[in-house]
A and B are shown apart, each in its own frame.
Chain A
């Protein structure tokens, strides 16, 4: 099979194109994940997010994650794309497509991919708030809200 599609991009993410690269005649299930920019975080009204990446290393880590989940779920076909730049509320920041003959491996691999991406891939986000303030999000710091992800 061809190598997994992993990419950091400045452009809007085309999920259908990603799905197109992972489906084939042996695939019976495609699990997809979209991360989108939410209008509130930690109790503050969010107006947009700037994403920044250490692009070559981010793509290496995304490829390593893809390779790891393919090893864990043989036969898996995967695509992972993360957008960088200035995103508005509702924009898609990350997309994952995992295809497999069976639904459980596709769904489990998709979940594993996004969890690993969040802790390993060198990408950062600066949230802008209503009122003009901004901050770099640090998931290692406790938040005042109960929701952490």
Chain B
């Protein structure tokens, strides 16, 4: 089942959406999701190692993603 991934700011511009349906089979890893996103239109604009959050916590590329997890791609932050 595709995983909906939240995207923001410059990444939302790249994908032309705020939620991207990513074609992967769950369970999978954060790395699997990033690689699948690179194949989508706009994915070529992702940096080499985009930052990912799972369930609103920063996640390394080996973190497992289950059905129902909230996954988000985090562009370089610029608050303040």
Contact = CB atoms under 8 A, between A and B. Distances in A.
Contacts of A124: 8-10, 75, 77-79
Given A56-B56, A57-B56, A125 B78 contact: yes
Q: How extensive is the interface on chain B, given as a class?
A: 10 to 19
Interface residues of A, number: 29
A108 to B, nearest CB: 18
Given A57-B56, A57-B72, A60-B56, A125 B79 contact: yes
A139 interface: yes
A104 B76 CA distance: 31
A120 interface: yes
Contact of A54 (B8, B10, B80): B8
A119 B76 CA distance: 9
Given A52-B8, A123-B79, 9 more contacts: A51-B79, A53-B79, A60-B57, A94-B80, A122-B77, A124-B8, A124-B9, A136-B9, A136-B13
Interface of A: 35, 51-54, 56-58, 60, 82, 93-94, 114, 117-126, 136-141
24 contacts: A51-B79, A52-B8, A54-B8, A57-B53, A57-B72, A60-B56, A117-B79, A118-B80, A120-B77, A121-B77, A122-B53, A122-B72, A122-B74, A123-B79, A123-B80, A124-B75, A124-B78, A125-B79, A126-B9, A136-B9, A136-B75, A137-B78, A140-B76, A141-B76
